[in-house]
Structure 1
């Protein structure tokens, strides 16, 4: 299960992940979080990173020229 769902709120002096996520979304980027990964960590979706399904992921890959996963 991916640990990327835990990245919201992470800050570091050199690598401010939370700020980068906000900048990405403000620039029109779309974030999707694996529902299973969120539920296994007892996390909930929010407005910046809603729960996605496998159907959502397949549609994103078909639609996008490039995708980034981690």
Structure 2
């Protein structure tokens, strides 16, 4: 299955759980892409003592997942992309939605 995950939350627990689902799905043999949108582009800055978001994101990428970050949303926040979360466009989000068997949002 091809799974698309759209993350537009900046809540540490929510984002951590989104990537947990992604890692689990990849281990099941699925193809998974995540798109960070709106406040979701802040994902790499959401680590807490309880929710190691960036650790979960690294596990996701290491397992073969793809993370893309909305360039407009990054620009609005005066933030930059990273190696783990490269800048992307609405076309990339559209492609994820079009090509996925299922899309979930967090």
Q: Any runs of at least 4 consecutive aligned residues in structure 1 with deviations exceeding 2 A, and if so which? A: 66-70
> Could you say which structure has the higher strand fraction?
2
Aligned CA distance change for structure 1 residues 33 and 68 (closer, same or farther; 3 Å): farther
Write out per-residue CA displacement over residues 12-65 of structure 1, whole angstroms, 9 at most, x where no aligned residue. 221111111111111111111111110011111121111111111111111122
Backbone CA RMSD of aligned residues: 1.6
* Count of residue correspondences: 70
**Does residue 17 of structure 1 match 2:53?**
yes
Report the TM-score when normalising by structure 2. 0.59
Q: Which structure's residues are more often helix, by fraction?
A: 2
* Structure 1: tracts of 5 or more residues without a match: none
TM-score, length-scaled by structure 1 = 0.84
Unaligned runs of 5+ in 2: 1-36
